[in-house]
Structure 1
Amino acid sequence: MPRTSADEKILSYNDVVLRHSDLRILNGPHYLNDRIIEFYFSHLSSSHPSEHILLVPPSISFWITNCPDITSLQDFLQPLNLPSKKLIIFPVNNNDDVAAVEGGSHWSLLAFEKTANVFVHHDSYGGMNKNHAKRLYKTVVQYTGGSGTRYMECGCSPQQVTGYDCGLYVLAIAKEICDWFDSDSPKNEDLWFAQVVERVTPGRVSGFRVEILELITSLRGKSDVL
């Protein structure tokens, strides 16, 4: 079967390959797929190069949440070296079918901050993913190397105004958390909450698709030069 234009590769970035179909998603009012979220997480990792920060790809986060054999998780997670991380960010998806990796209809974000010893769930749609985030937390918490770790739903999480921008909120919030971690902002019990509330607004998120498209264009230009 001949390859369609939607399948054509437009960019290889770290371990992520973007295709024309991903540009179509970003150009329209569409739900973000795993590949776009993995790409932007990879970009954040490059922008915040630190051995203390880990942005977990959607496929790994999904497998941790839904792994049918919990006893095999220790070997699976060992390369991530979770106990050494001070900030870990997971994308959360409401897909329950391990046979449908691209399934699901909603994204949210779960962040672990080691100093405060807390997992924080940010959900832009009224806690829709609460049960999935708690399942991920309960599975992964034993591998982060601490004790007495708390879980909390962030009551001040910015809320989406459309039915398809949840993935953009995950990316925008992840960016602000990473910026906060690398900044001189006070590292108190309020964590990054004020910064997220101030900066992750509907107007800011609505322009985020264009920002990501411009980032892809810039990276494509650099790869052409190289």
Structure 2
Amino acid sequence: MKEDIDTLKDDWLTDNVISFWQEFLEREYLKQYKNANIVLLRPSMSFMLMQTRDPLTLKEALPDFTRTTHIFLPINDCRNPSVAEGGSHWSLLLVSVVDGVAFHYDSLQPSNRQEANHATYQLSQLLGRRLQYIDLLDAPQQHNSSDCGVFVCMLMRHLLLKKLLMAHAKEKISMSLGDKAVDAATGRKDILRIIEGFRKEGERRRSRSASPYPKGSRSPPRVD
């Protein structure tokens, strides 16, 4: 939607933009790793998990985590389930199910600490195992009030592509991002460029599939 794309210029990113980014990462990268059992949980599902009184009631609505090794959850500070696109801050929770640890990356510390801690507890109830919560205090920090969603998208890509998918089996990797810099302006341009690329590709496909014959005609044109 135009409203979602407009937020990429200089505003707070919507659920739809973050969901698009997750789908892009899944289709362009994650699907190439057949043995990877990593889930990018959509913002709406993360919010639903945080709001429910009994996480076990969501088992049918959420992905099957039986074989999942890692889960990415966008965390929103909205506490009113009746407000669409509510909240004022995004952060990222990366749960290593295999290690029983939840890493929280907040670009405006400690804004979402309570929400991320609660999400960790809710997920532990759903998974049926204890999760240790860790705030990554060296997470890159934003310098305004609107770049949090961009930070979530960029850190998600970095953690997925440069950390998890690059690691060998049973290899221990550091989840610290102390040496990671985030250029939010470039990140916004990257997402816009990718969206524009998909839009143009969609137009090309529609153009190729369009009938060469006049509208409403089932016959090819005849000549005198």
What TM-score do the two structures reach when normalised by structure 2?
0.82
Change (3 A) 1:37 1:141: same
Q: Percent same amino acid among aligned pairs?
A: 25
| Deviation for aligned residue 1:189 | 5.4
| Deviation for aligned residue 1:65 | 0.2
Output the amino acid matched with 1:39: F
Which one of 117, 142, 154 corresponds to residue 125 of structure 2? 142
Partner residue, 1:87: 70
- Which residues of 2 match residues 128-167 of structure 1 at below 5 A? 128-144=111-127, 147-167=129-149
Aligned residue pair count:
199
| Deviation for aligned residue 1:116 | 2.5
| Deviation for aligned residue 1:69 | 4.9
Partner residue, 1:126: 109
Partner residue, 2:172: 188
Which one of 21, 40, 56 corresponds to residue 40 of structure 1? 21
Which one of 51, 56, 61 corresponds to residue 66 of structure 1? 51
> Are 2:55 and 2:123, in contact at CA under 8 Å, matched by a contact in 1?
no
Partner residue, 1:8: none
Which one of 141, 145, 154 corresponds to residue 172 of structure 1? 154
Distance 2:171 2:98 in 1: 9
Distance 2:20 2:142 in 1: 22
> Are 2:56 and 2:125, in contact at CA under 8 Å, matched by a contact in 1?
no
Distance 2:88 2:109 in 1: 14
> Are 2:43 and 2:75, in contact at CA under 8 Å, matched by a contact in 1?
yes
Change (3 A) 1:69 1:114: closer
Unaligned runs of 5+ in 1: 1-18
Structure 2 residue matching 1:35: 3-state secondary structure: helix
Q: Deviations over 1:24-69 (max 9, x none)?
A: 1112x21111110110011111121255011011111000001245
More helix by share: 1
Partner residue, 1:3: none
Structure 2 residue matching 1:197: 3-state secondary structure: coil
Partner residue, 2:94: 111
Partner residue, 2:217: none
Distance 1:210 1:189 in 2: 30
Distance 1:87 1:220 in 2: 31
Which one of 195, 200, 206 corresponds to residue 185 of structure 2? 206
| Deviation for aligned residue 1:131 | 0.6
Distance 2:114 2:184 in 1: 25
Q: Deviations over 1:1-44 (max 9, x none)?
A: xxxxxxxxxxxxxxxxxx111221112x2111111011001111
Partner residue, 2:200: 221
| Deviation for aligned residue 1:222 | 1.6
Q: CA RMSD in A?
A: 1.9
Output the amino acid matched with 2:187: F
Distance 1:34 1:152 in 2: 25
> Are 2:167 and 2:173, in contact at CA under 8 Å, matched by a contact in 1?
no
Partner residue, 1:16: none
> Are 1:94 and 1:106, in contact at CA under 8 Å, matched by a contact in 2?
yes
Distance 1:138 1:117 in 2: 12
Partner residue, 2:81: 98
